[in-house]
Amino acid sequence: MKRRFATPVMLSLVLAMGLSVAGQHDEPIRIGATMSETGAYATQGIPARDGYRLCAEDVNAAGGLLGRDIEFVIHDDRSDTDTAIALYEEMLAEGLVDAVMGPYGSTLTEAVAPVTERHGMVQISPLAATSSIWEQGREYLFMVLPPAELFLAGLIDMADERGLERVAVIAEDQLFPRAAAAGAAEMAAERGMTAVFHETYPSGTEDFSELIEAMDEGEVQVLAMAASALDNFIDVTRQLKDMNVDVDMFGTSGAVAEFQETLGADAEYVYGLSAWEPGLPNPGSEEFVEAYENAYGRAPSFHAAGAYGSCQLFVEAARRAGSLDQDALREELLALEMETVFGPYAVDERGYQTANQGLFIQWQDGDKVVVWPEELATDEARFPTPPWAER
């Protein structure tokens, strides 16, 4: 990756924070993390890794933090909990890093949280959303995403407004998807909608024909799907087409460019949760998008923006604390209210996010269009049947 000058927004932000190039130490502040560079979560983990790196580059170009550069020490956890646990334990037990940031996703965050808690280390989690992680009395863990239980809320809300009643909810049998699906099912019930079924399936599933047959037999109008593996969304979309099963609305718990790139026209009209989109009026978002595209040759996903914004939170907390003392960082993060590239941040006494609600997109003419909530929508949702449906 080519070295860049800081973007104007990042430069002004860092200078306003009082970060100085004067008296910089020779040794950088080393921030340890793992990311899923390979394995089932690589689609999400690679852009998140790059978001961390881009933030470090911008901070350093503008003067560093506490008189020092910052350096991310990122290891590939291979989308595996045991690997992630071992890597965080090694980094902290051997004093290899000065601070840590979180990995991708709820499953890995839940796995490594006991390690960071035992070592008394603040962990800002850029991409974990399952509420139960923050209901175990942990003191040093901070949430950035909206809660998982809200990830499919936009789909249910839009379906209810259209008068649709018959809902199916399916989820990969992992921590985050189960929570997201449970939230969708509960919201549908509160709206008086009929839950045709609510099922989980094992990780690694490729054949969804039995579930799709059940949808057809149950005359499902709305399919809400939660998964951590992008391939699951692609497989279900393809199999809906192959079996010529039509639902009025199909929404997923994650919208990434690879979905449309893989499916082409078959992605049209599918909905997906996105915690962030480039066109949102967040401070510095436009400059971040341009810098990311220049550095990595593609548009950033919300995973990249989440990691970049989480890095911004760490930098601001350290500036306010005036040190890397973990208890001081914790107190600053509990009190902090801030708008990052990723969006609003505020947490309760658990470190649980209270400011970010996320948004829903729909694929239209090959592009992601924000359709929910209404105040952030860039266009109206379209409701034709999918391209493969006969009726």
The per-residue pLDDT string of the chain (391 residues; one tens digit each, 9 = 90 and over) reads: 433 434 434 444 444 444 444 344 579 999 999 999 999 999 999 999 999 999 999 999 999 999 999 999 999 999 999 999 999 999 999 999 999 999 999 999 999 999 999 999 999 999 999 999 999 999 999 999 999 999 999 999 999 999 999 999 999 999 999 999 999 999 999 999 999 999 999 999 999 999 999 999 999 999 999 998 889 999 999 999 999 998 999 999 988 889 999 999 999 999 999 989 988 889 999 999 999 999 999 999 999 999 999 999 999 999 999 999 999 999 999 999 999 999 999 999 999 999 988 899 999 999 999 999 999 899 999 987 655 554 3
Is 388 part of any domain? no
Nearest-CA neighbor of 145 among 339, 343, 312, 348?
Answer: 343
- Residues 288 and 342: beta-carbon distance below 8 Å: no
Long-range contacts from 368-371, C-beta under 8 angstroms, 24+ separation: 368/255, 368/257, 368/260, 368/272, 368/274, 368/277, 370/274, 370/277, 370/279, 370/280, 371/154, 371/158, 371/271
The whole-angstrom separation of Cα 202 and Cα 111 is 19
Residues 231, 237, 238, CA angle at the centre, nearest 5°?
90
- Residues 318 and 66: beta-carbon distance below 8 Å: yes
Whether residues 72 and 207 fall in one domain = no
The whole-angstrom separation of Cα 131 and Cα 273 is 17
The pTM assigned to this predicted structure is 0.82
In Å, how far are 120, 153, 177 from 52, measured between CA atoms? Answer: 22, 29, 25
How many C-beta atoms surround the C-beta of residue 295 within 10 A? 17
pLDDT the model gives residue 140: 98
CATH of residue 237's domain is 3.40.50.2300
Nearest-CA neighbor of 343 among 367, 370, 325?
Answer: 370
Whether residues 179 and 206 fall in one domain = yes
Is 381 part of any domain? no
How many C-beta atoms surround the C-beta of residue 81 within 10 A? 16
3-state secondary structure of 136: coil
Domain of residue 294: give its range.
8-146+278-345
User: Which two tokens mark 18?
Assistant: 């009082």
Is 389 part of any domain? no
Half-sphere exposure at residue 334, Cβ-oriented, CA atoms within 13 angstroms: 14
Reduced to 3 DSSP states, what percent helix, strand and coil does the chain have, rounded to the nearest 5?
A: 40, 20, 40
Nearest-CA neighbor of 104 among 54, 11, 41?
Answer: 41
pLDDT the model gives residue 357: 80
Whether residues 242 and 290 fall in one domain = no
Is 245 part of any domain? yes
Whether residues 135 and 283 fall in one domain = yes
Q: What single DSSP character describes residue 11? A: H
User: Which two tokens mark 298?
Assistant: 């593609």
Is 101 part of any domain? yes
Whether residues 19 and 139 fall in one domain = yes
pLDDT the model gives residue 46: 97
pLDDT the model gives residue 287: 96
Q: What is the residue-wise DSSP string for 248-277?
A: SEEEES---HHHHHHHGGGGTT-EEEES--
pLDDT the model gives residue 384: 76
Is 384 part of any domain? no
The whole-angstrom separation of Cα 84 and Cα 77 is 5
Is 353 part of any domain? no
- Residues 332 and 351: beta-carbon distance below 8 Å: no
- Residue written as token pair 């391939």: 231
Whether residues 248 and 293 fall in one domain = no
Whether residues 133 and 163 fall in one domain = no
Is 1 part of any domain? no
Whether residues 135 and 87 fall in one domain = yes
pLDDT the model gives residue 389: 55
Residues 369, 372, 377, CA angle at the centre, nearest 5°?
55
How many separate domains does the chain show?
A: 2
Query: Cα torsion at 188, 193, 199, 205 (round to 10°)?
Result: -80
Whether residues 33 and 76 fall in one domain = yes
pLDDT the model gives residue 131: 94
Whether residues 136 and 186 fall in one domain = no
Whether residues 247 and 189 fall in one domain = yes
Helix axes 302-321, 285-296, angle to 10 degrees: 120
pLDDT the model gives residue 337: 98
Distance of CA 159 to the CA centre of its chain: 24
pLDDT the model gives residue 24: 45
Whether residues 237 and 370 fall in one domain = yes
3-state secondary structure of 133: helix
